[in-house]
């Protein structure tokens, strides 16, 4: 049996066997090995090391976080409290170049963008899901930018720079009903040729479905995906909920009672007969019986101690992990105003860290908006250090400052600095810097060099004015009589 007949016997669906004596040309099979870690022909420098959750764990994390935020009071406060402190008073995005401010304002107030309304939602979901992806839509004529939204659950892959695994360069979505996956290029402000190698630029060109912003929190340098603020405390906030529901059941049992009726000298037949006739008395009703019948209300004694300390233990374990003081969630503890202020400092430091990242996000968006405007006008990419691209996100103070302490400190510092300058212990520049440090706590920013120069100039001007007044003493009093016009006194 020849090889052709043998193969046909193994696979009847193959072509029929060749007739005897016919020459058959065997063609070597062609194929290629598919590497699941390979994206468009390259392998990331980090090799097979993965610092991300599995896709299943990532999906479960998102759904769990959303459920807890929606149904669990403690989890809800972990997300909402930082949000209220960071954005409660609103945010402003200001362009360094006043000519660019109308561009920023138009983007911010656009009826689709509505950043005043949508920004809290975006920040909330950044904390819930650990990542946010916003596709952009740019008017090619005017350069006006509008934001879209891509649910993190629709992100299939985050592609990173093969030469720098810390930098995401593209987003691949899951396939839709037609089997099509979209490929968005992650926005990086600046000229492509100066930011990426030739190989990376070629990869980014394959992401041709548009551009998008992509931001993550709670991730590592080599992580591709972000993680929720509720991932770590998820089991504990759920356990706290179960603990409280258990306490509700326990208190329901504690409120329950039964009537225990004792019949004196009654046999089994009389007891059964009495049981058929007896009825539980209604509240406020009157019972009449003789000494052979005793009624007593019996409540369960389940030997359960006070669980307040247990509840506090669970609650503080969760709140401590979120850097939130106990008294912010209804637990008073041993707290007064002084200790309360000091306990809040780590919390505000943590909130400030997240606020700083939000500041970066908004400034990246503002820079992109101005870039698109300039590109539409000049049909060219502006330099990344162009002064017109600079924007500043301004956040309100998280808490009202206690100005009384700083006002008292300012008076003491001014007195002490003046005394030190007089004794030639410090320079004028150092003295003004000390005053500026305290003034900054009161919300007044002072540049020591500029302020000292202005103060010296003002002092010189005052000295000139005083010298002029001394040279013409009569000018200050219009009714004064000049010496030459004075009448000589009469002789004695």
pLDDT confidence bin for 467, thresholds 50/70/90: confident
Answer yes or no: do 448 and 357 share one domain: no
Last residue of a domain, one of 381, 400, 419: 400
pLDDT confidence bin for 10, thresholds 50/70/90: very low
The answer to which of 200-209, 285-294, 371-380, 394-403 has the lowest mean pLDDT is: 394-403
Note the pLDDT of residue 66.
94
Answer yes or no: do 408 and 373 share one domain: no
The answer to which of 114-123, 144-153, 175-184, 450-459 has the lowest mean pLDDT is: 450-459
Domain annotation covers residue 298:
no
The DSSP output letter for 150 is: B
Answer yes or no: do 395 and 449 share one domain: no
For the cut 90, the answer to whether the pLDDT of residue 432 exceeds it is no
What gap in Å lies between CA 189 and CA 367, rounded to an integer?
7
Higher pLDDT, 343 or 294: 294
Domain annotation covers residue 357:
yes
Beta-ladder partners of 297: 259
Domain annotation covers residue 339:
no
Beta-carbon contacts of residue 296 (< 8 Å; ≥ 6 apart) = 259, 260, 261, 262
Answer yes or no: do 409 and 389 share one domain: no
- Residue 456 has φ and ψ, to the nearest 5°, of -65, -40
Answer yes or no: do 355 and 465 share one domain: no
Give how many domains the chain has, as a whole number: 2
Beta-carbon contacts of residue 412 (< 8 Å; ≥ 6 apart) = none
Q: How many residues does the chain have?
A: 492
Which of 390, 368, 384 is CA-nearest to residue 107? Answer: 368
- Residue 333 has φ and ψ, to the nearest 5°, of 65, -165
How wide is the angle at C-alpha 42 spanned by C-alphas 41 and 47, nearest 5°? Answer: 145
Answer yes or no: do 117 and 135 share one domain: yes
What gap in Å lies between CA 256 and CA 262, rounded to an integer?
20
Token pair 């000390």: residue: 434
pTM exceeds cut of 0.85: no
Answer yes or no: do 179 and 80 share one domain: yes
Domain annotation covers residue 314:
no
Question: How much is the average pLDDT of 10-14?
Answer: 46
**By 3-state DSSP, what share of the chain in percent is helix, strand and coil, each rounded to 5?**
50, 10, 40
- Residue 453 has φ and ψ, to the nearest 5°, of -65, -40
Q: What is the pLDDT of residues 270-319, one digit of tens each?
A: 888 888 888 888 877 787 787 778 888 777 766 555 677 777 777 888 88
Answer yes or no: do 463 and 365 share one domain: no
pLDDT confidence bin for 491, thresholds 50/70/90: very low
Domain annotation covers residue 30:
no
Answer yes or no: do 379 and 444 share one domain: no
Answer yes or no: do 168 and 179 share one domain: yes
Answer yes or no: do 387 and 419 share one domain: no
On average, the pLDDT of the chain sits at 81
Domain annotation covers residue 302:
no
Domain annotation covers residue 178:
yes
Domain annotation covers residue 481:
no
What gap in Å lies between CA 435 and CA 416, rounded to an integer?
10
For the cut 80, the answer to whether the pLDDT of residue 20 exceeds it is no
Note the pLDDT of residue 68.
93
Answer yes or no: do 463 and 360 share one domain: no
- The three-state (H, E, C) secondary structure of 4-23, written as one string: HHHHHHHCCCCCCCCCCCCC
pLDDT confidence bin for 159, thresholds 50/70/90: very high
Q: What is the pLDDT of residues 39-70, one digit of tens each?
A: 444 454 444 457 888 888 999 999 999 999 99
Q: What is the pLDDT of residues 241-267, one digit of tens each?
A: 888 887 777 777 777 778 888 888 888
**Domain encompassing residue 457:** 403-469
């Amino acid at each position: 049996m020849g090889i052709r007949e043998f193969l046909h016997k193994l696979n009847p669906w193959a072509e029929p066997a060749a007739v005897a004596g016919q020459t058959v040309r065997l063609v070597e099979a062609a194929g290629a090995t598919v590497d699941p870690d390979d994206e468009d022909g390259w392998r990331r420098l980090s090799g097979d090391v993965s610092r991300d959750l599995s896709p299943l764990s990532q999906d479960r994390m998102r759904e769990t976080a959303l459920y807890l935020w929606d149904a669990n009071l403690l989890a809800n406060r972990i997300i909402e409290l930082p949000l209220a402190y960071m954005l409660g008073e609103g945010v402003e995005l200001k362009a360094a170049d006043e000519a660019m401010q109308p561009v920023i304002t138009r983007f911010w107030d656009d009826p689709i963008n509505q950043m005043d309304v949508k920004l809290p939602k975006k920040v909330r979901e950044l904390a819930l899901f650990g990542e946010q992806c916003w596709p952009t839509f740019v008017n090619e004529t005017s350069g006006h930018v509008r934001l879209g939204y891509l649910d993190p659950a629709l992100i299939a892959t985050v592609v990173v720079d093969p030469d720098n695994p810390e930098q995401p360069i593209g987003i691949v979505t899951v396939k839709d009903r037609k089997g099509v996956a979209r490929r968005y290029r992650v926005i990086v402000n600046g000229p492509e040729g100066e930011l990426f190698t030739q190989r990376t630029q070629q990869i980014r060109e394959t992401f041709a479905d548009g551009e998008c912003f992509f931001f993550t929190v709670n991730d590592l340098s080599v992580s591709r995906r972000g993680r929720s603020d509720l991932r770590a405390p998820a089991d504990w906030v759920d356990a706290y909920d179960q603990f409280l529901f258990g306490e509700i059941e326990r208190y329901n049992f504690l409120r329950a009672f039964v009537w225990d009726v004792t019949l004196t000298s009654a046999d089994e037949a009389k007891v059964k007969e009495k049981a058929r006739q007896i009825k539980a008395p209604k509240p406020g009703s009157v019972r009449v019986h003789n000494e052979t019948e005793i009624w007593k209300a019996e409540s369960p004694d389940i030997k359960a101690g006070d669980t307040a300390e247990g509840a506090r233990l669970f609650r503080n374990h969760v709140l401590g992990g979120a850097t939130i003081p106990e008294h912010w969630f209804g637990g008073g503890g041993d707290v007064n105003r002084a200790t309360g202020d000091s306990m809040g400092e780590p919390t505000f430091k943590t909130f400030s860290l997240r606020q700083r990242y939000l500041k970066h996000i908004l400034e990246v968006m503002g820079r992109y908006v101005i870039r698109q405007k300039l590109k539409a006008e000049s049909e060219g990419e502006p330099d990344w250090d162009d002064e017109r691209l600079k924007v500043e996100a301004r956040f309100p103070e998280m808490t009202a400052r206690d100005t009384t302490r700083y006002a008292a400190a300012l008076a003491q510092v001014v007195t002490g600095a003046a005394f030190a300058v007089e004794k030639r212990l410090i320079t004028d520049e150092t003295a003004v810097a000390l005053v500026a440090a305290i003034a900054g706590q009161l919300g007044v920013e002072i540049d020591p060099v500029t302020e000292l120069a202005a103060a010296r100039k003002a002092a010189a001007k005052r000295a000139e004015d005083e010298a002029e007044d001394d040279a013409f003493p009569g000018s200050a009093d219009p009714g004064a009589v000049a010496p030459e016009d004075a009448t000589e006194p009469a002789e004695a």
